[in-house]
Amino acid sequence: MKKLAFYLLTILMFSIQVIAQWEPCNNGLLSGEISCFLKDGNNIYTGIDGGVYMTTGNGNNWIPKNKGLTTIPIPDTAIGSLAINENYIFASTDIEGIFRSTDKGENWVQNSNGVYFIVAQNNQYTYSKSFVVLR
């Protein structure tokens, strides 16, 4: 009897198929590489080539949040990472350095004081050190 139960359990384990069901949830997103996600309460942010986007509906609709990101929406400008600390959201870009938002991504201010980063001017790229006054 124990052998029969073992065989039945083994057959049952191998006959159950686990099928993941994925749904597209990119309405409103530009096409591009997604580099990061950030969750803040009901808000979910993503950084992609060309900007920061936010959803409050679990990805059903994405809204651009790029006001103040100086090189957006140049397609070559990618958001490399997003981070949150209390009421501040930080976004790193591959061209203009670090930006900070104090209003859930509605407005961004460059916040790269002392950080070296690439500056784009007239299609010329050079390294620069920012001396932005933090307020």
Residues 6+ apart with CB under 8 A from 110: 68, 70, 96, 97, 98, 99, 130, 132
DSSP state of 77: -
- Identify the pLDDT of residue 108: 92
pLDDT tens readout for residues 39-53: 999 999 999 887 899
Residue 95 has pLDDT above 50, yes or no: yes
Structure tokens at 103: 């209003």
Q: Averaging pLDDT over each range in 7-16, 48-57, 100-109, which range is the top one?
A: 100-109
User: What's the rounded mean pLDDT across residues 48-60?
Assistant: 87
Q: Is the pTM here over 0.85, yes or no?
A: no
Range name among 6-10, 13-17, 42-46, 117-121 with the lowest pLDDT average: 117-121
Q: Dihedral sign, CA of 34, 95, 135, 67?
A: negative
